[in-house]
A and B are shown apart, each in its own frame.
Chain A
Amino acid sequence: MNAQLTKGNEAIVKAAVLAGARGFYGYPITPASEIAEAAALYFPLAGGVFVQAESEVAAINMLYGGAAAGGRCMTASSGPGISLMQEGFSYLAGAELPCVIADIMRGGPGLGNIAPEQGDYNQIVKGGGHGNYRTLVLAPDSVQEMADLTTLAFDLAERYRNPAVVLADGFIGQMMEPVTFADPRPVAAPPEWAVTGTRESRHNLVSSIYLEPDKLEQHVRKLEAKYQEAERRETRVECWRTDDADVVLVGYGIVGRILKAVVEQARRHGMRVGLLRPITLYPFPVEEVRALSRRARAFAVVEMSTGQLRDDVRLALEGRRPVEFYSRVGGNAPSAEEVLAFVEAKFEALRESEVLVHG
């Protein structure tokens, strides 16, 4: 297949169908609506189910039902809708149901605006619902990754029997880039634990209630062990020109793309700057951050939120290196030029004039 110029939001839907997803339960919200629109078109044509729910609360609970039946299914929303879905996230994780949720972030808090932001980091990465659970969080920086990480999200969700989130922002959702899609995968048979209304599955139970403290503790420890395994096995990160970097920029999603331009420009200006882009936000690439701290003298986090990502970078570094911070919010994206000016101002002492000569 040739690469297809594809909108980020549509790439999610096409990748989901190709990955064998046949259930979509959604509610429109800018800037994620194209996902529901494309799903309304493609899921029925692929022999699947599309339901426009009465609310995000209903949508996430439909997802619970669809996942309980053992099929690959998904929903999508943006900040205000994701807030409403947090009840379902908790139940899905508690009942160990695999499914995929796409969050195309917009400005908040409250109604905020519909322009891109990254303010859902905490509610997705830290878990906005109740109880001891995590969601697996993948953060695409391109339309190609919108497709690839949607496919991966389904695989990880199944491997860990846990909801997986594709966390993108309005820019990635709305922009178009060429995408090469994976080959279609057949719809797999329902897993053994699924409730499918057959004699064989009659004794199966999907539930998150454990009334006895010892039983619930056992269950929470089981979930905890899964998350620890995911932390060991599933961390994904892109390191861009970090081998010789004195300063490591950290950013995800669209910011990662902007920071690549910053890295190139900074290097032309004689600064050894690199980029660490977390692709998984949970599990967070703690080891990778620490590894870079051996060579790098400082880190600078750039995000479209007020320090939500920075907190994780600080936790990973445990004080090993200073962490500078630059952010834009409200729907504004940092331009490469303004981030470059920030980097130059903060790290002027690290500029090496020889680099210019040899560069």
Chain B
Amino acid sequence: MGSFTLTHERPDCFYDRFERKSELQHQTHYCPGCGHGIVHKLLAEAIDGLGVQDRTILVSPVGCSVFGYYYFDVGNVQAAHGRAPAVATALKRSLPDKIVVAYQGDGDLGAIGTAEIVHAANRGEAITVIFVNNGIYGMTGGQMAPTTPLGKKTATTPFGRDALNEGYPLHICELLASLEAPVFLERVGLGNNKQIMGAAKVLRKAMENQVKGLGFSLVEVLSPCPTIWKMDPVEAQRFVREEMAAVFGIGNYRDRTATATPRPARPAPPKLEELPGILGLGNGDRDRLPCGETSAVDYRIRVAGFGGQGVLMLGEVLAEAGLDAGYHVSWLPSYGPEMRSGTSNCHVRLSSRPIDSPLVSQPNVLLALNEPSLHKFLPGVEPGGIVLYNGDAIPEGCGRGDVRMVALPFTRIADQIGVSKAANIVILGALLEATDLVENEQATAALHKLVKSPKWFDIDVQAMERGREEMRKTTMPVSDDYLWGV
């Protein structure tokens, strides 16, 4: 008699006792003959064989295999129904050198989680997906799955699955094979010894792909569900072999493992002290007056016009220059479809005191870049306020004796310097000339900060100067006693 050595035994990456279960700690919770147990074993063999137990994170689904974490002695995350690929995506992106496995059933992956699997595959997430297809909802008690073969009676197809009513069985491997990114897609079965041994090889390859740093790998396993199919385990195995495999062709649907290149490693993160610069904070800032170190003023400005006139940008220049000048400032835009067409307006406040409401319902400065804006906002202007209107004259019926109104053809002035889009900055110049809102230098600095192109910056500086000139030629109605709302 020679001695025997163990060649096949409980894989190391299974727990010895399933302590997370309260009872039957030596057995799985699966029914006798369930394919999940076999798939678990094949996966465990692959993890052991590749030596990655300490690097593996298993994402378990909703369905019978929800309790994958009872058995696998690896990192475990349990996901919401169908979302395992999304959860796995973030795990893998966060921990790129770890082996992330999403384990899903057919309801989970093929119905409620169709979007998640398609997009994870399409992004080429470098994860491994084990897709157990038994053509039925097991956990919930035998309802139709997206993969239920035509004609099969289930709890929710009592007359048999009818293509007219329930559509056709979903072929996941074929579906995903229409995508460019997946590296490896293969369907295997558990229908007999040969299929099982083939499945073991394929599962290992799908795991190995991830160890090599290749992209998305998915193995679909045609798997028996004897209990819900109401068959004994051997009969269920035959059903997999003869009937499931007839609907879902066993074989490889994508194998680019020979040509796929490992994903490049992420560059090293920047140093902590580099972060403010990366975020655009504190770079090239001028020294500023601290907020509140100004004379007592409260500019409540409304800028309005049509989309494309630079209404929001003009408001931003005012706010930026105001901040530079030591004011408390706020800028509040109208947004949405209005950004693309129709009217556009913004609320700007420059104040020597902390700003309560950034909404300007009663402006003391109105910059109206077109006539509808003048009509809309003029009634709200505070008595004594300034109104600059983009036109040759104040339109009839728009007069108000208690505000200081000036009409100038700002767009035409901008046309004269060759850029009608600079009308907003011409108005800015006029406003600066009419008030002591901010210094020229502060407005220029704001433009410098906001206008990236040197060419446009030069045009804007010119436009601002033209606005000042035109305003100087104009007689502003005087109201010396106006205290800017303070």
Q: How many angstroms from the CA of A45 to the CA of B281 in the assembled complex? A: 14
Do A177 and B329 touch (CB < 8 A)? yes
Q: List the A residue with the shortest CB-CB distance to B83.
A: A61
Shortest CB distance B449–A (Å):
9
Shortest CB distance B21–A (Å):
9
Q: Which residues of B contact A30 (CB under 8 A)?
A: 335-336
Q: How many angstroms from the CA of A48 to the CA of B87 in the assembled complex? A: 17
Interface residues of A in 58-80 (CB under 8 A from B): 58-59, 61-66, 68-69, 71, 73
Do A202 and B54 touch (CB < 8 A)? yes
Do A17 and B279 touch (CB < 8 A)? yes
With A69-B95, A195-B57 as contacts: A175 and B331 at CB distance below 8 Å:
yes
- A170: contacting residue among B269, B282, B288, B335, CB under 8 A: B335
Q: How many angstroms from the CA of A257 to the CA of B269 in the assembled complex? A: 39
Interface size class of B (residues with CB under 8 A): 35 or more
Q: How many angstroms from the CA of A177 to the CA of B123 in the assembled complex? A: 37
- B69: contacting residue among A23, A47, A71, A207, CB under 8 A: A207
Q: Which residues of A contact B268 (CB under 8 A)?
A: 47
Do A178 and B275 touch (CB < 8 A)? no
Contact with A along B82-117 (1 / 0, CB 8 A): 010011111101110011100000000000000110
Do A197 and B331 touch (CB < 8 A)? no
Contact with A along B21-62 (1 / 0, CB 8 A): 010000000000000000000000000000001111101000
With A1-B282, A5-B331, A337-B361 as contacts: A65 and B323 at CB distance below 8 Å:
no
Contact with A along B47-81 (1 / 0, CB 8 A): 00000011111010000001001000111111110
Q: Which residues of B contact A176 (CB under 8 A)?
A: 316, 319, 330-332
Query: Which of A2, A54, A61, A185 has the most chain B CB within a 10 Å cutoff?
Result: A61
Determine whether A286 belongs to the interface, using a CB cutoff of 8 Å to chain B.
no
Q: How many angstroms from the CA of A85 to the CA of B268 in the assembled complex? A: 32
Q: How many angstroms from the CA of A54 to the CA of B117 in the assembled complex? A: 10
Interface size class of A (residues with CB under 8 A): 35 or more
Determine whether A184 belongs to the interface, using a CB cutoff of 8 Å to chain B.
yes
Do B291 and A178 touch (CB < 8 A)? yes
Contact with A along B279-306 (1 / 0, CB 8 A): 1111001001001000000000000000
Q: How many angstroms from the CA of A1 to the CA of B275 in the assembled complex? A: 12
Do B319 and A5 touch (CB < 8 A)? yes
Determine whether A212 belongs to the interface, using a CB cutoff of 8 Å to chain B.
yes
Shortest CB distance A342–B (Å):
14
Do A1 and B90 touch (CB < 8 A)? no
Contact with B along A207-238 (1 / 0, CB 8 A): 11100100000000000000000000000000
Shortest CB distance A243–B (Å):
18
Query: Which of B316, B331, B355, B357 has the most chain A CB within a 10 Å cutoff?
Result: B357
Do A260 and B270 touch (CB < 8 A)? no
Determine whether A271 belongs to the interface, using a CB cutoff of 8 Å to chain B.
no
Q: Which residues of B contact A203 (CB under 8 A)?
A: 73
Q: How many angstroms from the CA of A177 to the CA of B356 in the assembled complex? A: 12
Shortest CB distance A323–B (Å):
23
Residues of B near any A CB (own CB < 8 A) = 20, 22, 53-57, 59, 66, 69, 73-80, 83, 86-91, 93-95, 98-100, 115-116, 118-119, 123, 266-270, 272-273, 275-276, 278-282, 285, 288, 291, 316, 319-320, 323, 328-333, 335-337, 355-359, 361-362
Q: Lowest 3 CB-CB distances: which A-B pairs, in order? A: A47-B269, A65-B90, A197-B98
Residues of A near any B CB (own CB < 8 A) = 1-5, 14, 17-18, 22-23, 25, 30-31, 42, 45-49, 51, 53-55, 57-59, 61-66, 68-69, 71, 73, 87-88, 91, 95, 113-115, 170-171, 174-178, 181, 184-187, 195-199, 201-209, 212, 254, 257-258, 260-261, 264, 333, 335-337
